[in-house]
Each structure stands twice: as structure tokens, then as C-alpha cells.
Amino acid sequence: MKPRTPLNELRIFVAVAERCSFVDAARDLNSSPSVVTRTIAALEERLGVRLLTRSTRTVFVTPEGETYLERCRDILGRLDAADAEVGASVEPRGELRLSAPISFGRRQIAPICAEFRKLYPEVSIRLTLTDQSNDLMATGADLALRVGLPREGDFVTRRVLRARRAICASPSYFQHHGEPKNPADLERHDGIVICRDNEPIDRWMFEVDGRMESFRIPVALSSNSGEVVEQWALDGAGIALKSLWDVEQFLEGGQLVECLRDYSREDADMFLIYPERRGLPSRVRAFIDFLDERLQQLEGRFARL
């Protein structure tokens, strides 16, 4: 009979499979790449099957590895649930890893993290800011905040903030160019647009006669940075489509003016996403509750705009 696999080997395998990297998995586990590599080699030898394939830049899970990974997640999930149930009353402590969009994270989430630590000083927080949403857990995050629902992956997902998008420009721009009266008027204006996958998003969606339609805006300036797009709008370079959580302060202060408010647009709702688990560490549960409270206050401010 084959010897049983130690639980620590299962955790190491899951970490490597999810991170697609021996180095990143070792860092997350506070171990060394050599130890992680030897552990995976010993596990594969014991099982008599290849679980992972390596290339020069990444690690891939084999079909056999996918089957084993699913079982390992189930086993470790049950164990984590048992630990969480027993330790539910334990004071939150340890590292919390959080991922958020760059602008939203800098303006809204960073202050929330600092405030949370005043309540729970035994919790350390690693906040990663990224606008890349194709691999939500690539950073090894416990929680991820994203605009819109993820398109793939087995995640627990729930909306934590409702927010609309605003078509806006500086007062000086509208003084020189006039305001568009309907979405079709955008064709006569200078568009400041965000890039996704190296392509400028030059079509904006509006509700017209009960259905959503796209309208093209000529691209004067484009960038993959939302903050650059915002600054261009403040500088009077054109019209931008921005989330309220990006431009709230500028609309209130009069540096930006909103137009086309009578036409509904796609929302910029924020979703909280995390891996499906039967039990969450107390630090994660505490932060989720704290985040909910703070974002509800933020949503209340948006309702007044």
C-alpha cells in the first residue's frame, strides 16, 4: 500500500497549481523554491503520475493534475472549514491579501485598509492594485475587488457597491465646444478613452428607446491608465466616460461637469470576489464586514450626485 500523502504536500501542490509558479508559491508559503520543487517531485514519484508540466516561464497542470487538484481543494477546504468553525471566536490576526483596481484601490480601499488596522492591529494587509482582471487570483489574494462580474473561475461573487458612469468634461471644454445634447452628438467631440488589450474603447453604450445602443466617439487621446484619462479631462482635452468613484470629488468641486444625464449607461458596480471555501479566516470575515459598511456609506454619497 502506498504511504499517505502529508497535508503540507497537498497545500504546496495547490499553491503551485493556482499560482502557476514554483517561485510565487514558495513566497506565499514562506518557503524556498528548492523545497517546493523537491516536494512536488516527491509527490509525483509517490503517486506515479505527472501532475505538473514546466515551461521556461510558467507551470501547467496536467489532466491528471486537474483531477488531483480538485480533490485536494475539497480536502483542504473541509479542513479549513473545521479550523474556522473551531476558531471562529479567535481575534483576527495574520496577513490579509487584497486586490483592487488601481484608481479605486488608491482612493477608496487604501484608506479603508488603514482604518481597519486601527481596529485589528494583529492583521497585516498586502494591497495589490491592478486593472488586469483576466486572472483574479493570480496575485494569491484572499479577496479581489473588480468592476463587473468575472467571466470565468469558481468564485464567490457579490456586489458591494452600486455606481453609475458619468460622461464628463471640464467647464472650459464645454465653453469652447458646447455640450452634446444626445449620444449621437458625441461624434462632433474629442473623446478621451481608456484602452483595453491595447485597443481604445471608442464606443459607449446608452439606453435609447428602451434598448442599449453603442455610439462612437472620435478618439483624441487614449491610455491604459484611468488616472491619465481623468487628468486629461481635468485639463480640458475632451470628454471622458468615468465611474463615479473616480470623479465624485471633481463633480462636487466643479472641476468636471456631467452631461447626457438623461440617458442611462452601463453601470460601474463593484464586486467582491474570493475563492469558494466552506470556511474563511476570521481576518477575512472581519474585513468583509468592515468593507461592506464603508462602501454602503460611499454608495450613499453617490446617490446624491
Residue 117 has pLDDT above 90, yes or no: yes
Q: pLDDT band at residue 276, thresholds of 50, 70 and 90?
A: low
Percent pLDDT > 90 in the chain is: 47
Q: Which domains, from first to last, does the chain contain?
A: 7-86 (1.10.10.10), 94-160+270-303 (3.40.190.10), 165-259 (3.40.190.10)
Beta strands in the chain (DSSP E): 52-54, 59-61, 94-100, 123-129, 143-147, 155-161, 165-169, 191-196, 199-200, 203-208, 211-216, 219-223, 239-243, 257-259, 270-275
Indicate the SS3 state at residue 59.
Answer: strand
| 244 vs 147: CA distance, rounded Å | 12
Average pLDDT over residues 111-131: 93
125-134 pLDDT per residue, tens: 999 998 776 5
65-105 pLDDT per residue, tens: 999 999 998 898 888 777 766 655 568 889 999 999 888 99
What is the rounded average pLDDT for all residues in the chain?
A: 87
Which residue type, as a one-letter code, is found at position 266? Answer: E
Residue 110 has pLDDT above 90, yes or no: yes
Pairing relationship of beta strands 165-169 and 191-196 according to DSSP bridges: unpaired
| 237 vs 231: CA distance, rounded Å | 9
pLDDT, residue 224, reads: 87
40-76 pLDDT per residue, tens: 999 999 899 999 998 767 889 999 999 999 999 889 8
pLDDT, residue 277, reads: 61
